[in-house]
Amino acid sequence: VIADDIAKATAMGASFIVLTCNTAHHFFEDFQDLTPAPILHMPRLAVAKLAAHYPNQTYSRVGFLGTEGSLQAGVYRQVITAAGYQYIEPDAALQSRVTSLIYEDVKGGRGLSLQHYRGVLNDMLNPDRENSCDALILGCTELSVLNEAFPLPDIPFIDAQEVLVQETVKWAKQLRKPF
């Protein structure tokens, strides 16, 4: 389906393409081979923003929060480690809570809970936890919904979807023709 969308966007003369699903970036190279139009790479953009705001000298351990599919596909693992960070995934119990946020709270319509959301983030950052981290990447569009509903400026994280939106706007503005 995504390949078909890319073909249609290319046929319409798209100047660039935005791939909004984190997990789909597992197939990024295959998708990019389908079009001469550049496809924005959300994980690379997110990690570049991470490096700018949370340098690896101080924030060396980066936790990734996303779907089990994104974890298994490793869409962020390579990009995070290539930037000089140690990549941290949630343990099974914490991943179950992340999955609940994504599929029950947001997609399932159970309702957004600041307590549930903040609890997951705080547990990932808890220095007493075996696999604690110094900063986080929110790598799921449903987690971005929670970030938008409950901004938490006191927590060191990057919202990959937010970074992609900012980059999309930047690219679109560069294409605008003055009146």
Say if CB 141 and CB 19 are below 8 A apart. no
* DSSP secondary structure code for residue 102 in this structure: I
Q: Which of 140, 144, 138 is nearest to 158 (CA)?
A: 138
Q: Which of 153, 143, 6, 121 is nearest to 70 (CA)?
A: 143
Q: Please report, to the nearest 10 degrees, the dihedral formed by the alpha carbons of residues 54, 55, 58, 60 taken in order.
A: 90
What tokens were used for 58?
């101080």
C-alpha span between 150 and 80 (Å, rounded)? 25
> What are the catalytic residues?
21, 140
Q: Which of 56, 74, 55, 54 is nearest to 64 (CA)?
A: 74
Q: Would the CA dihedral through 107, 113, 118, 119 be positive or negative?
A: negative
